[in-house]
Amino acid sequence: MKEKIKKIYDMLKKNWMIVLIVILILSWFSWYEVRPSIIYSYCNEQAKEKAIDNYDKKHTNLNNEESEDIIKESGRLYVYLKSDYETLYKSCLRDKGINK
């Protein structure tokens, strides 16, 4: 076991420049490719949830019996305004450090 570790250590010592380049490439890929895709997904879900909540709050206060029946049956309306969604989505992206 110690011999294998010694071989790996010697290999890394000889090829330190290649190891450094691989680490830098992986770091760059993670920062510019993986991180933004995770943030986009997160912000999409958050914006939808908040936009749906905003729509529900606006429309559950109506005295319309039909809308009350729909809400009672489904528990929640999964409808939202596109303008609310876009505003919340852009706000979330800015908060996470992505300007778009």
Domain span at 90: 2-95
Residue 87, domain member (yes or no): yes
Residue 100, domain member (yes or no): no
> Is residue 93 scored above 90 in pLDDT?
yes
Residue 72, domain member (yes or no): yes
Query: What's the N-to-C CA distance of the chain in angstroms?
Result: 52
Q: Select from 69, 47, 46, 49 the least CA-distant residue to 59.
A: 69
Give the pLDDT band (50/70/90) at residue 41: very high
Check: pTM over 0.75? Answer yes or no.
Answer: no
pLDDT value, residue 32: 92
pLDDT value, residue 78: 74
Residue 59, domain member (yes or no): yes
Residue 37, domain member (yes or no): yes
For 60-82, the pLDDT digits (tens) are: 665 555 455 445 555 555 778 89
Contact 81, 51 (CB under 8 A): yes
pLDDT value, residue 28: 95
Q: What's the token pair of residue 41? A: 């997904």
Give the pLDDT band (50/70/90) at residue 27: very high
What's the total number of domains in the chain?
1
For the chain, percent of residues with pLDDT exceeding 90: 48
Residue 17, domain member (yes or no): yes
pLDDT value, residue 1: 81
Residue 31, domain member (yes or no): yes
